[in-house]
Amino acid sequence: EPEVTQTPSHQVTQMGQEVILRCVPISNHLYFYWYRQILGQKVEFLVSFYNNEISEKSEIFDDQFSVERPDGSNFTLKIRSTKLEDSAMYFCASSEQGLETQYFGPGTRLLVL
């Protein structure tokens, strides 16, 4: 069964460093998303992406964050200058259409020191 994959599974970085989290959505899906879950807290929406542009973003998704679909298969989340509070599990998701089932990847656990 097709699934969303994410790399790396774990990333440790120093505060102020840039990180890029990578995702490969399910191949025929058109909508892509990033969510995050701070330890012990709710899953929070960050951004949705369709037709090579951001369709919606949350207040969390400030200028330090960006997303890109550099080729036909990858979808990336970049954090330009990481902060301690960016430590979280980051989930990528994709859906065939909007308002349909979103399939989540296994997540990247980011730790900012």
Partner 1 sequence: SQQGEEDPQALSIQEGENATMNCSYKTSINNLQWYRQNSGRGLVHLILIRSNEREKHSGRLRVTLDTSKKSSSLLITASRAADTASYFCATDPKDYKLSFGAGTTVTVRA
- Say how far apart CA 104 and CA 83 lie, in whole Å: 25
For the bound state, the minimum distance from the C-beta of residue 5 to partner 1, rounded and expressed in Å, comes to: 10
Give, in degrees to the nearest 5, the angle at Cα 107 between 102 and 110.
140
Token pair for 64: 């330090």
- Among 21, 95, 110, 112, interactor with partner 1 by CB under 8 A: 95
> Candidates 14-22, 68-76, 79-87, 88-96 — which segment interacts with partner 1 by CB under 8 A?
88-96
Considering the complex, state which of residue 20 and residue 30 has its C-beta at the smaller distance from partner 1: 30
- Say how far apart CA 11 and CA 107 lie, in whole Å: 11
Considering the complex, state which of residue 14 and residue 40 has its C-beta at the smaller distance from partner 1: 40
